Chains A and B, each alone.
Chain A
Amino acid sequence: MFRPVVRLSTSGVRSLTRTRPCYSAPLASRCYSHAKVETDEEFDARWVTYFSKPDIDAWELKKGMNTLIGYDLVPEPKILDSALRACRRLNDLASAIRILEAVKDKSGPHKDIYPYLIQELQPTLIELGISTPEDLGMDIL
């Protein structure tokens, strides 16, 4: 292990004061990230807030939805509820149906997730007048 070379600068010797726990105690500490892990509730709340923006625009809806589908999870009903309401604000029924199709596809082999989501979203679907892909016969060829 070599010590970093001290560079004398006008701002003083600040480089050495930054601790590097990995190198100081070779066997005692591990090189894990010190970042704070977001809890599930924080994640959900963040996304609900994202879609709840009153003046959300179409691009933000698409970007949010595509990003959310990119994660390794099926979104909670409350996030989807927020997204569907965003579709309503944007007068976009097609995207609302597409979102339902996407989460069903996202569930993969776990066939019990989608019925649960629909069951939880039923009040919202009735309120906004969104038909599920099954109602429209779009889930079959």
Chain B
Amino acid sequence: MLATRALSLVGKRAISTSICVRGEHGVAKVDDYALPAYFDRRENPLPDVQFVTELSAVQKSLKEKEKGSWATLSNEEKIALYRISFKQSFAEMNEGTKEWKSVIAGMFFFIGMTGLVVLWQRKFVYGPVPPTFESEWKEKEVQRMLDMRINPVEGFSAKWDYENKEWKK
């Protein structure tokens, strides 16, 4: 743990797959995944390591210039320094994806597929509907219900005008 703390103080992951000796117990290879990692998160604004580990000559000279007054740095230099330490700015990090379009498209697609399946079912799976659904049967059914005075106060027959033999307006 002290080794990784020292590495973060230096600010770069100089050792990626080197050997480190711990006490007298032999060697242990420090794998990449075991070292502090860089990640952009809103809740962790300053990650454990810099984003750029191997600095070019230009970047090194910029880092030297950073030790002086920051007012002498141009905007481009300040942005360059930021980009050395960080991968994405907060604005870039928080940017939404266009994933929702794929989600809606997928939804419509599957609803459509389901509709096709339902249509196929109606044609090939289900048998015919009972005769009681035919319009001739239904007419006779309604006439019978009116003759029986079904719900004459507020319901069915109440809406029928018996004098004029038509539905009440």
- A interface with B by C-beta (< 8 Å): 57-59, 61-62, 65-66, 69-70, 88, 91-95, 97-99, 101-102, 104-105, 128-131, 133, 135-141
The answer to whether B89 touches A133, judged by C-beta atoms less than 8 angstroms apart, is yes
The answer to whether A95 touches B85, judged by C-beta atoms less than 8 angstroms apart, is yes
Specify which of B73, B81, B92, B94 lies most central, judged by the most chain A CB atoms within 10 Å of its CB: B81
The answer to whether B45 touches A129, judged by C-beta atoms less than 8 angstroms apart, is no
Q: Does B9 have its Cβ within 8 Å of any Cβ on chain A?
A: yes
The answer to whether A58 touches B9, judged by C-beta atoms less than 8 angstroms apart, is yes
Interface segment out of the listed B27-35, B64-72, B121-129: B64-72
User: If the complex has contacts A65-B45, A140-B91, are A135 and B75 also in contact, measured as CB distance less than 8 A?
Assistant: yes
Apart from A99-B45, A135-B75, what are 11 other A-B pairs with CB-CB below 8 Å?
A58-B11, A65-B46, A66-B45, A92-B85, A98-B86, A129-B70, A129-B72, A133-B89, A137-B75, A140-B91, A141-B92
Which B-chain residue is minimally distant from A68 (CB atoms)?
B45
Specify which of B5, B42, B45, B69 lies most central, judged by the most chain A CB atoms within 10 Å of its CB: B45
User: Would you list 8 pairs from A and B whose C-beta atoms are within 8 A, ordered by A residue?
Assistant: A65-B45, A66-B44, A93-B78, A105-B94, A129-B72, A136-B75, A138-B79, A138-B89
- In the assembly, what is the distance between CA of A66 and CA of B72, in Å? 29
The answer to whether A69 touches B43, judged by C-beta atoms less than 8 angstroms apart, is yes
- In the assembly, what is the distance between CA of A129 and CA of B67, in Å? 12
Contacting residue for A98 out of B72, B85, B91, CB 8 A? B85
User: If the complex has contacts A58-B8, A133-B89, A138-B79, are A95 and B69 also in contact, measured as CB distance less than 8 A?
Assistant: no
Question: In residues 62-109 of chain B, which contact A (Cβ within 8 Å)?
Answer: 66-67, 69-73, 75, 78-79, 81-82, 84-86, 89-92, 94-95
The answer to whether A93 touches B45, judged by C-beta atoms less than 8 angstroms apart, is no
User: If the complex has contacts A58-B11, A129-B72, A141-B92, are A94 and B5 also in contact, measured as CB distance less than 8 A?
Assistant: no
Contacting residue for B84 out of A65, A70, A94, A136, CB 8 A? A94
